[in-house]
Amino acid sequence: MNSLILASSSPRRHHLLSQMGLSFEVVPADLDETARPHERPESLVRRLAASKALAVGEKRPEALVLGADTVVALGAQILGKPRDASDAERMLQMLSGTRHEICTGVSVWSGVRGLGYVAVSVAHVTFRPLSPVEIQTYVATGEPMDKAGAYAIQGGAGRWVESYEGNLETVIGLPRDVVERLLKRMAGEKAWGSEKHPGTKGRGSGS
Ligand SMILES: Cc1cn([C@H]2C[C@H](O)[C@@H](COP(=O)(O)OP(=O)(O)OP(=O)(O)O)O2)c(=O)[nH]c1=O
């Protein structure tokens, strides 16, 4: 296999990928992550995961590049990372007492083969109602600031979770089952639920 690059600054993604026993280099992609008007969460994470992998792949065409993106969605509202503490409070007030969706897009790109795949994994989390003091206290810890939806299920927000459906790694930012399927597909084996990366030049068998 070509050398593997993780196109992400997320320590959670570094940790999850290293648990797969793969050796990789980290080269973050710096992109505008703003949603387009009326863009659906699945489409947004698909587009951003693919763009992150492609942006790094253009600089490092010899490597296999993995990109990912995570957002929280409440109905049509997409919550990315908060701009500041008051934005984090606003997001958590919205999420209080709700069942919401978390979408993570994962993409692999090979510049050598001009071929890539992208897939989306969706999970749902239900929060109990949160008091304004709880929200303010949590935001003051700083933990929400680099997390989609302004919370970390693996951190302080874990105690607010009444239930969840789906893969917890999807919420934390990198579902390893999806990474494995995409890497297998790239290696020529069958994988589930993936499709061709938008930058692909027409080779490969993606659906
Ligand atoms: C909802 C939730 C998100 N997150 C994190 C996962 C992602 O790192 C982050 C969403 O932001 P992303 O833009 O997906 O990723 P990032 O900015 O951290 O890193 P990069 O773009 O360089 O890949 O939120 C958690 O860690 N726990 C959670 O419970």
ipTM confidence: 0.98
Q: What is the pLDDT of residue 202?
A: 43
Residue nearest to atom 6 of ligand 1 (CA): 173
Ligand 1 centroid to Cα of residue 80, in Å, is 8
Grouping H, G, I as helix, E, B as strand and the rest as coil, residue 35 is coil
Ligand 1 contact via 146 beta carbon (within 6 Å): yes
Token pair in block for residue 20: 């797969």
**Nearest CA-CA partner of 100 in 174, 176, 179, 157:** 157
For the segment 62-102, what is each residue's pLDDT rounded down to a tens digit? 999 999 999 999 998 999 999 999 999 999 999 999 999 99
87 is catalytic: no
For the segment 4-18, what is each residue's pLDDT rounded down to a tens digit? 999 999 999 999 999
CB 57 within 8 A of CB 65: yes
Residue nearest to atom 5 of ligand 1 (CA): 147
Domains of the chain: 4-196 (3.90.950.10)
Our mutation pick for probing the ligand 1 site, out of 10, 79, 171, 179, counting the most ligand atoms within 8 A of Cβ, is 10
Ligand 1 contact via 8 beta carbon (within 6 Å): yes
CB 75 within 8 A of CB 129: no
Residue nearest to atom 8 of ligand 1 (CA): 10
Ligand 1 contact via 42 beta carbon (within 6 Å): no
Q: Which ligand 1 atom sits closest to the C-alpha of 102?
A: 1
Q: What is the pLDDT of residue 198?
A: 65
Confidence band, pLDDT 50/70/90 cuts, at residue 203: very low
Residue nearest to atom 16 of ligand 1 (CA): 10
State the DSSP string of 127-165: EPP--HHHHHHHHHTSGGGGSGGG--TTTGGGGGEEEEE
Ligand 1 contact via 81 beta carbon (within 6 Å): yes
pLDDT reading at 205 higher than 50: no
Q: Spell out the residues 6+ positions from residue 154 whose beta carbon is closer than 8 angstroms to its own.
A: 12, 168, 172
